[in-house]
Amino acid sequence: MRPILTLLSLSLFFLACASGGPRPGSGALGGRLEPFFQRQGVTIAVAYRNLGTGATYFHSEDETFHAASTMKVPVMMALFQAVDAGDLRLTQPIAVRNQFQSIVDGSPFALDPKEDGDPDLYQAIGGSRPLEELIRRMIVRSSNLATNLLIEKIGASRATDLMRGLGAYRIQVLRGVEDQKAFDAGLNNKVTARDLEIALTALAKGSTFSPASNAKMIEILKAQEFNEKIPAYLPKGMPIAHKTGDITGIHHDAAIVYPPGKAPYVLVVLTSGYEDEKEANQVIAEISRVVWQGR
């Protein structure tokens, strides 16, 4: 009888894990976060890892979402991997232009400056900008033009391959942004909360890249100019290295938070289904506050 009960207990445990139920170490934090997941028509995924205490919390962490601009983190990491390998230099000039090819059929398309978080870069069309400047614009201002130029330079597959090497198996970087034909064909960049947590944990630990490259990426992420989500209710002035992502109905934030005098923690919150961006930002900010208080 005992082996049967043991088998039943193990089965229930793995069923809970598969369904996004409580995990070891979730404890009171899971109870405080659970109310956020009750709204109908909305999907929220959370991945949390404290590098000091070892505490973790996961909810719907393997749910796949449209990546929006969070895919710019793997692209940045792939570029610095290339810098470490000697394939690229941060000072090398990159030609700035606004014409790209769809991954569907090679047809040309251009980006709309009015839809870009960094319209200033369009003034450089016809000239060039250093690689490091384009990386910085891609992250801190979420420049779509810089992103497409950089993906064209490095290749989307290199970002995906790097993520696979880190153990992030569901991140998929296929293309740049505003490739409408690809979007219509369902060829989109995809992420999960777990995989973004893996990527940011690699940066927080600092053992994957050269010390200089790792420090530069953290510094760039800390300079993020869009702070309405994870940082909103955290203590002012606290260092937070993060990247947001927003398109219609999709609102994300992925961060490394650096509490004073303590080891950092990684928090990723992905959402879909919110029609109002401000409402999504508020929910992400409140989840962040609960994690901060319960860390």
DSSP string covering 148-190: HHHHHHH-HHHHHHHHHHHT--S-B----S--HHHHHTT---E
Task: Look at residues 195, 218, 192, 193 and name the one whose alpha carbon lies nearest to residue 205.
Answer: 218
**Residues shown for the chain:** 295
pLDDT of residue 253: 98
pLDDT exceeds 70 at position 120: yes
In the structure, what pLDDT confidence band is assigned to residue 8 with cuts at 50, 70 and 90? Answer: very low
Q: What is the mean pLDDT of residues 135-162?
A: 97
* pLDDT, position 9: 42
Residue 291 and residue 295: Cα distance in Å, rounded? 6
SS3 of residue 192 by DSSP: coil
Three-state SS at 27: helix
Q: Is the predicted pLDDT of residue 14 greater than 50, yes or no? A: no
Amino acid making up residue 115:
E
3-state secondary structure of 196: helix
What's the pLDDT at 28?
87
pLDDT bin (cut points 50, 70, 90) of residue 26 is low
Tell how strand 240-247 and strand 65-66 pair up: unpaired
pLDDT score at 64: 98
Give the HSE-up count for residue 155: Cα atoms under 13 Å, Cβ half-sphere.
8
pLDDT the model gives residue 294 = 85
Domain ranges of the chain: 25-294
Q: Out of 33-42, 123-132, 190-199, 219-228, which region has the weakest mean confidence (pLDDT)?
A: 33-42
In sequence order, the 6+-apart residues with CB closer than 8 A to the CB of 187 are 103, 104, 174, 175, 179
Q: In the predicted model, is pLDDT for residue 207 greater than 50?
A: yes
Looking at the predicted structure, is the pLDDT value of residue 262 above 50? yes
Q: DSSP state, 207?
A: -
Mean pLDDT value across residues 3-19: 41
The pLDDT of residue 34: 94
Q: How many CB atoms lie within 10 A of CB 35?
A: 10
pLDDT (tens digit, 9 = 90+) per residue, 75-109? 999 999 999 999 999 999 999 999 999 999 999 99
Mean pLDDT for all residues in the chain: 92
| 56, 50 Cβ separation under 8 angstroms | yes
Mean pLDDT (whole number) for 5-29: 47
pLDDT of residue 27: 67
Please identify which residue in the block is written with the tokens 């109870």: 31
Q: Which of 184, 162, 188 is nearest to 175 (CA)?
A: 188
Q: Which residues pair with 57 in a beta bridge?
A: 48
pTM of structure: 0.89
Q: Which pLDDT value is given to residue 108?
A: 97
What's the one-letter identity of residue 192?
T
Q: pLDDT tier at 17 (50, 70, 90 boundaries)?
A: very low
Closest CA to 292 of 36, 41, 32, 101: 32
pLDDT in tens, 217-239: 999 999 999 999 999 999 999 99
Question: Which of 23-27, 159-163, 244-248 is predicted least confidently?
Answer: 23-27
Query: What CATH superfamily is the domain 25-294?
Result: DD-peptidase/beta-lactamase superfamily (3.40.710.10)
Q: Give kind and range of the element (H or E) at residue 286.
A: helix 277-294
